[in-house]
């Protein structure tokens, strides 16, 4: 083996080792890298219900309730399998609307209602002008899945 081939193997092995180590570390910390849990994961007991965590899902159309003259509101999140009711009383992001993907941070109460301290809107990867969105809405459902 020439010195150059030795160096080639050296660089390759270092990269391989770093890759394996990183893959193992990411696998070990998988839970912590997940940014949010879905309503189904809460149902199946995968979510850390003892502490504050984030849940993500789509706002069920027609489920947004506001008390008149009050900032308190509630809405239902779904992942098209299970649902969770979320209560919230702060300012909503611009993209919050029915059918939109939402991530809420807070705690799950005894009554099964998730009381959120923070609500973030999740955008999907689709961009289009309003006319096209309307046309798609009329033919089929636009890509609202996350």
Partner 1 sequence: MKFLPKFVHRLASPPHFYRLAERWTPWLGLVAIVLILAGAYGGLVIAPVDYQMGDGFRIIYVHVPSAWLSLLVYMVMASAAAVGLIWRIKLAHAVAASCAPVGAWFTFLALATGAIWGKPMWGAWWVWDARLTSELVLLFLYLGYIALHGAIDERTRADRAAGLLAVVGVVNVPIIHYSVEWWTTLHQPASITKMGSPSIRDPAMLIPLLIMSIGFMVYFAAVLAIRVRGEVLEREWHKRWVSEILGDT
Which parts of this chain interact with partner 1 (CB under 8 A)?
4, 7-8, 11, 14-15, 18-19, 22, 26, 30, 33-38, 56, 91-96, 100, 103, 118-134, 143, 146
Structure tokens given for 78: 């779904």
Minimum CB distance to partner 1 smaller for 15 or for 71: 15
Q: How far is the CB of 83 from partner 1 (least distance, A)?
A: 18
Helix (H) or strand (E) holding 30: helix 30-33
Q: Which residues make beta-bridge pairs with 115?
A: 87, 107
Minimum CB distance to partner 1 smaller for 34 or for 87: 34
Distances (CA, A) of 12 to 16, 21, 25, 26, 123: 6, 14, 20, 21, 39
Minimum CB distance to partner 1 smaller for 81 or for 128: 128
Structure tokens given for 86: 């979320």
Q: How far is the CB of 113 from partner 1 (least distance, A)?
A: 21
- Given phi > 0 = left and psi -120 to 50 = alpha, else beta, which region is 87? beta
Minimum CB distance to partner 1 smaller for 28 or for 111: 28
Q: How far is the CB of 18 from partner 1 (least distance, A)?
A: 4
């Amino acid at each position: 083996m020439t010195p150059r081939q030795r160096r080639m193997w050296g660089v390759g092995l270092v990269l391989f080792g770093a890759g394996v180590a990183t893959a193992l570390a990411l696998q070990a910390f998988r839970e912590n890298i997940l940014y949010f849990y879905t309503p189904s994961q809460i149902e199946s007991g995968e979510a850390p219900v003892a502490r504050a965590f984030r849940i993500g899902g789509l706002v069920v159309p027609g489920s947004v309730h506001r008390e008149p003259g009050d900032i308190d509101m509630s809405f239902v999140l779904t992942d098209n399998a299970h649902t969770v009711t979320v209560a919230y009383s702060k300012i909503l992001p611009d993209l919050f609307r029915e059918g939109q993907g939402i991530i809420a941070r807070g705690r799950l109460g005894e009554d099964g209602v998730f009381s959120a301290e923070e609500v973030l809107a999740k955008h999907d990867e689709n961009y289009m002008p309003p006319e096209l969105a309307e046309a798609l809405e009329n033919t089929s459902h636009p890509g609202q899945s996350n």
